[in-house]
Amino acid sequence: MKLTLCSCLIPLCLTCISVFGQNNPSKTDTSTVDTTEVLKEIIVYGQKREIASITKTSTPLIDLPIAVQLVDKRLIEQQQIIDARDAIKNVSGITVTGTYGDGYAMFNGRGFGLNFNSNYRWNGILMQTTGRLYGDNVERLEVLKGPASIQYGDVAPGAVLNFVSKKPLDYEYRRFEVKVGEYGMVRPTLDLSGALTKDKKLLYRLNTTYESSRHFIDEIRGKNFLLAPTITWKVTPDLDWTVELVARNDDRTFAPGLVSPDGTFEGLKKLRRGLFLGEPDNKHQVNDQSVYSTLNYKINKNLTVRNVTFYSRSQEREESVFFPDRRADAKDSLNRTTEFFQTFTYIKGTTLDLVGKFSTFGVQHDFVVGGDYTERDYTIFYNDPVILKPINIYNPVYGQDVLPKIIGFEGDPDKPSQFINRQGIYAQDQLKFWNNRIQVMLGLRYNRTSRGTNYTHNAPAPDTYKDDVKKPLSPRLALLVKPWKNLSLYGSYTQSYEQNGWDEITNIMLSATNAKQIEFGAKTNLLHEKLGIGLSVFQIDKKDIVGYVFGLDQPPAWDHLYYHTFYKWAMYQGGHHRSRGIELDVNGKITNQLSVNLATSYIDAIVVEDPAFQKGNQLEGNARTTLNIWGNYTLNKGLLKGMDFGYGFFYKGKFYATTDNSPLDEVKAYWSMDASVGYSYKSFFTRLNLSNFTDNKGYLARSGLYEPLWGRRTILSVGVKF
């Protein structure tokens, strides 16, 4: 049997949304308003919400010929979201395929895995992805679906996830909350903001979080800490400068997942859901620090210059257990090996944008012209693998081996380091004709991406080595028509590429993976513009894929670049994969008391041509059908005023754990139901959430590894605003 993991696992310059909201009304960001009182809420719903992050111009969603969805702070609070894996359930076309040791998640967008080197953004800037992505300094999560190379250069084509941080407010804001839950979870958070000077030219915000918890899986424990101070200085009425620091530390037991006793999905029924097959002393540890500087200068009412400069450092330590056979033997013994490594990663860069509006002969232009530079350097220390004593899959005994210690230190002059340098200049113009009824978006980006290895005197480069340099042009072309004020119809064409670079194992230069997308969609606002609906139909073609096939007892007969005799996997490049689908997102208010969020999709992601797999096979991890619904009802009068009730239904259709599509690897469909009840009175608030209250069993799966999802779980929060 062969098992696979495509390397598509290996951004949305979303920095200044002026009005936000998802399935509840939102208020404008008051951080830039000089007033002694909190402004009255300005209610904005559905597709009327403005977003300046995709085009970098302040554009309502209904006028964007792009599929974009938001998960805002109200939905985060209603569902008590503490992990990006839970947030993404509210967006169509995006699913979680697995985690790496429960430390960070792997996402699938429109049938393709997202790339950890490029598809995750923090306020539109490349972010560290070595740990859990969500923190309590996150205001909202934004998702751009489809290719986004015009914004960021080399990215995987499925989607870009952008985390927008909380910004300083110019009024006093104090919020303290404690979440407690099953398995000993304790999570206190503090959110402070206000002015440091009487003239309110100097503002601050401080977010801090501590979490400690066990897990429903045996032996797993985790702790994490976040500290995120931010300062905004209004230098002049037209110039402001924001400096943001983020420090995170995450320390948890490495969770290697499960393998089926007989290698089939049905075989998992023989195992306890909480079975742990790793070693309790193995850790996944992440420590990172980042600093971001954002300058905004308003030249006049129509022109703005924006600069973002950033630096980020991360240290990741992985002590993992690997299952080379992906199944137990006839005596229920499971072979295990170590896979220990340590990574030091540094990211720095800068962007400069000129954003503006002008008119020519009655045609309105919303444009952005800019450039960016990003440098990512990382050094990886690998330990030689150690074969561990087999473990009984039903009655595991831990600690039979003396585990090795990771050897490696930051700044080792004899250790080669890898780098990815990205440079780009871009221009985009959205032309609006005939009272904005016809709009044309034209964009072009010139990329220069260099990827390679910095070798050292004691570790020289191979004779045939050279840096991989690519200089593609990435276009965007879109047409949007508005037959009525609250209805837009659009079509678009975009491209993307992923740079694969020089492969250290095979010593060959890998070709870039390229993708193209055609998309058609419609957006509308109903019920007096309170309910937004977005519908999109798309096709993505991706070629020259780099893939890995696991669980091979011998080198495969098909064309491959390398076969690893110890870990039993083979690597290849080539082929053509295609994704076709339809997505529907509905969010807003049906009545003044009832808000809804619906996200559903049907995505057919298949092999068109591939060295290792048959034509027509479904891609690993892709669930053709998803359906997610969340509703929240608020009581706004009577004795129970201040109370609200929430209910959610989340469904993920069947999928394959490998692109081989063996019937024995088919993971059954899974659904769960969540409920919540909240109450607020003056400055006090509390909320109780019960997730998967029917206690259904579900699994994530990739390359023959399975990860059980949480069963029934309760979280209670109590807090105060003062």
Cα–Cα distance measured from residue 143 to residue 159, given in angstroms and rounded to the nearest whole number: 7
Q: What does the pLDDT read at residue 263?
A: 83
- Residues 6+ away with beta carbon under 8 Å from 331: none
pLDDT band at 5 (very low <50, low <70, confident <90, very high): very low
Average pLDDT over residues 137-142: 92
Judge contact between 342 and 314, C-beta under 8 A.
no
pLDDT band at 49 (very low <50, low <70, confident <90, very high): confident
Average pLDDT over residues 687-695: 97
What are the strands, taking DSSP E only, across 215-302? Answer: 221-236, 239-253, 283-300
| Mean residue pLDDT across the chain | 89
Q: Which of 17, 310, 26 is nearest to 144 (CA)?
A: 17
Q: What does the pLDDT read at residue 44?
A: 74
Tokens for 59, please give them: 């554009």
Q: What does the pLDDT read at residue 53?
A: 65
Cα–Cα distance measured from residue 587 to residue 590, given in angstroms and rounded to the nearest whole number: 9
Sign of CA dihedral 89, 95, 99, 103: negative
Cα–Cα distance measured from residue 659 to residue 6, given in angstroms and rounded to the nearest whole number: 9
% residues pLDDT > 70 (the chain): 93
First to last CA, the chain: 60
Q: What is the 3-state secondary structure (H, E, C) of 212-231?
A: EEECCCCCCEEEEEEEEEEE
Question: Per-residue pLDDT for 37 more than 50?
Answer: no
- Residues 6+ away with beta carbon under 8 Å from 641: 635
Q: Which element (helix H / strand E) includes 327?
A: none
DSSP helix/strand/coil, 186? strand
Sign of CA dihedral 247, 252, 256, 258: negative
Helix, strand, coil percentages in the chain from 3-state DSSP, rounded to 5 = 5, 55, 40
- Residues 6+ away with beta carbon under 8 Å from 206: 190, 191, 192, 193, 228, 229, 230
Looking at the chain, the number of H-run helices and the number of E-run strands are 3, 44
DSSP conformational letter for 413: T
Q: What does the pLDDT read at residue 118?
A: 87
Q: Which region among 102-106, 405-409, 673-677 has the lowest average model confidence (pLDDT)?
A: 405-409
DSSP conformational letter for 77: H
Q: What does the pLDDT read at residue 109?
A: 95
pLDDT single digits (tens) 338-370: 989 999 999 999 999 999 999 999 999 999 999
Tokens for 199, please give them: 């003239």
Q: Which of 144, 146, 154 is nearest to 115 (CA)?
A: 154
Supply the DSSP string of 603-669, one letter for each residue: EEEEEEE-SSS-TTPBPTT--SEEEEEEEEEE--SSTTTTEEEEEEEEEE--EESSTT--GGGEEPP
Residue appearing with tokens 């990771």? 406
φ, ψ for residue 663, nearest 5 deg: -55, -25
Cα–Cα distance measured from residue 565 to residue 635, given in angstroms and rounded to the nearest whole number: 63
DSSP conformational letter for 511: P
CA atoms within 13 A on the CB side of 142: 30
Judge contact between 144 and 159, C-beta under 8 A.
yes
Cα–Cα distance measured from residue 559 to residue 234, given in angstroms and rounded to the nearest whole number: 60
Question: Per-residue pLDDT for 413 more than 90?
Answer: no
Q: What does the pLDDT read at residue 357?
A: 93
Q: What does the pLDDT read at residue 327?
A: 86
pLDDT band at 674 (very low <50, low <70, confident <90, very high): very high
pLDDT band at 52 (very low <50, low <70, confident <90, very high): low
Q: What does the pLDDT read at residue 54?
A: 66
Question: Per-residue pLDDT for 461 more than 50?
Answer: yes
pLDDT single digits (tens) 549-569: 988 889 999 999 999 888 889
Judge contact between 386 and 321, C-beta under 8 A.
no
Cα–Cα distance measured from residue 208 to residue 228, given in angstroms and rounded to the nearest whole number: 6
Going along the chain from its start, the domains and CATH numbers come out as: 3-721 (2.40.170.20)
Q: What does the pLDDT read at residue 173?
A: 96
Tokens for 483, please give them: 């037959």
Judge contact between 112 and 618, C-beta under 8 A.
no
Question: Per-residue pLDDT for 129 more than 90?
Answer: no
Q: Which of 561, 436, 620, 621 is nearest to 59 (CA)?
A: 436
φ, ψ for residue 464, nearest 5 deg: -95, 5
Judge contact between 454 and 485, C-beta under 8 A.
no
At 7, the amino acid letter reads S
Question: Per-residue pLDDT for 23 more than 50?
Answer: no
Q: What does the pLDDT read at residue 177?
A: 98
Residue appearing with tokens 């915000």? 205
Q: Which of 595, 398, 420, 433 is nearest to 500 (CA)?
A: 420
The total number of residues written for the chain in this structure = 722
pLDDT single digits (tens) 207-227: 999 999 999 999 999 999 999
φ, ψ for residue 374, nearest 5 deg: -135, 135
Cα–Cα distance measured from residue 253 to residue 363, given in angstroms and rounded to the nearest whole number: 59
Q: Which of 573, 560, 565 is nearest to 513 (CA)?
A: 573
Q: What is the 3-state secondary structure (H, E, C) of 529-550?
A: CCEEEEEEEEEEEEECCEEEEE
pLDDT band at 522 (very low <50, low <70, confident <90, very high): very high
More confident: 463 or 419: 419
Cα–Cα distance measured from residue 449 to residue 153, given in angstroms and rounded to the nearest whole number: 8
Burial state string for 142-174 with b = 16 or more CB within 10 A and e = fewer than 16: bbbbbbbbbbbbbbbbbbbbbbbbbbbbbbebe
Tokens for 421, please give them: 């340098």
What CA–CA distances, in Å, run from 697 to 384, 451, 652, 690, 706?
37, 43, 12, 15, 12
pLDDT band at 524 (very low <50, low <70, confident <90, very high): very high
Residue appearing with tokens 């089926």? 260
DSSP helix/strand/coil, 425? strand
pLDDT single digits (tens) 167-202: 999 999 999 999 999 999 999 999 999 999 999 999
Q: Which of 4, 115, 5, 107 is nearest to 496 (CA)?
A: 115
Judge contact between 605 and 613, C-beta under 8 A.
no
Supply the DSSP string of 541-594, one letter for each residue: EEES-EEEEE--SS--SS--SEEETTTTEEEEE--EEEEEEEEEEEEEESSSSE
pLDDT single digits (tens) 283-339: 999 999 999 999 999 999 999 999 999 999 999 999 989 898 888 888 999 999 998
pLDDT single digits (tens) 626-639: 999 999 999 998 88
